[in-house]
Structure 1
Amino acid sequence: MSVVEVTVRVREYRKGDLEALVALDEVCFAPEFLFDRPSMRRFAETRNAVTVLAEVDEGSLAGFVIAHLERMVSGVRGYVITLDVAPEHRRAGLAGRLMQAAEDRVSAAGARSMDLHVFAENEAAIRFYEGRGYTRSGVRRGFYGLGLDGYLYRKLLHAEG
């Protein structure tokens, strides 16, 4: 059995990427968790967005992460809107590379922490985020809709100073 080498390139979002993001989101999530096209555009293209893509081989989209920089009274934080990885590219380290890229970018912009919500029943995602140093800091009932609770997770990106 031969091993096929896959080249992965991480890059910034461009406006022409929107349709590919919407299409991948439809593959990755059940309908109740999907973003419609206008929402995806708003999330990916807003002024405070950190949108990073992972492409394989000839430019095929393998995954992406959208995070926002949020300025608060207590300082700047990052907030992950969504992390999508194509099923055929899961468990290969791609989600970790995307999250690291987003964390690096929001940290460089002054964020002290990164927050996110994860569906309370998504055990694989919970294990992934906890493995990256995120800790559960709360629960938001109905975050994803009636009966679909979300856990709030936070990771400190650098020491308070």
Structure 2
Amino acid sequence: MNYRLFQREDFDDLYAIEEICFQPPQRFTPRYMRQIIASQDSATWIAEHNGHMAGFAIVEWTQQIAGILAYIATIEVLPTLRHHGIGAELLRRIEGSANAEGASQIWLHVDTENTAAIQLYERSGYHSRGRADHYYARNRPAAIYLKHLV
């Protein structure tokens, strides 16, 4: 497995994974996806398997009164390649990018029914910080997780 930062020519392959992993209305639009990837306050990591994109992760950060706070926009891995540690490594990579930008904390929303993702976050040191009812389309709730970065 090869891990690297996003390059502009990766977008079509990246968005194809978005279309596989999420159905409307949960899917990001291409315009929104391009916007967050292009931001100077974000990092997008790519996982490649045998020369083909296997997954990606996007983290954003913002300056708050208490310091820089990072947010995981998404982590996506092709269904056929899940459970091989790709998501965990992408998570480590985006945490590293957030840490390099001086973020003291990183947080995320996750569908309360996505037990595999919740287990990954909890194994990686994230702690539940509540719930957001009606966060996702069709009134699906999200769990909120937070991790303090070193």
What interval of TM-score do these two structures reach, taking the shorter chain for normalisation?
over 0.9
For residue 83 of structure 2, the aligned residue among 91, 98, 107 is: 91
Aligned pairs (5 A) from 1:19-98: 19-58=12-51, 60-98=52-90
In the TM superposition, structure 1's runs of 4+ consecutive aligned residues that sit over 3 Å from their partners are: none
TM normalised by structure 2 equals 0.95
For residue 111 of structure 2, the aligned residue among 119, 125, 129 is: 119
Report the equivalent of 1:3: none
Post-superposition shift, 1:88? 1.4
Post-superposition shift, 1:32? 2.7
Structure with greater proportional strand content? 2
Higher alpha-carbon Rg: 1
Q: Within 2, Cα distance between the matches of 1:92 and 1:23?
A: 20
Structure 2, unmatched stretches of 5+, are none
Structure 1, unmatched stretches of 5+, are 1-7
| Coordinate RMSD, CA, aligned | 1.1
Q: Within 1, Cα distance between the matches of 2:24 and 2:112?
A: 17
Count of residue pairs the alignment pairs up: 150
Corresponding letter in the other structure for 1:132? S
Q: Within 2, Cα distance between the matches of 1:108 and 1:157?
A: 10
Report the equivalent of 2:7: 14
Post-superposition shift, 1:31? 2.3
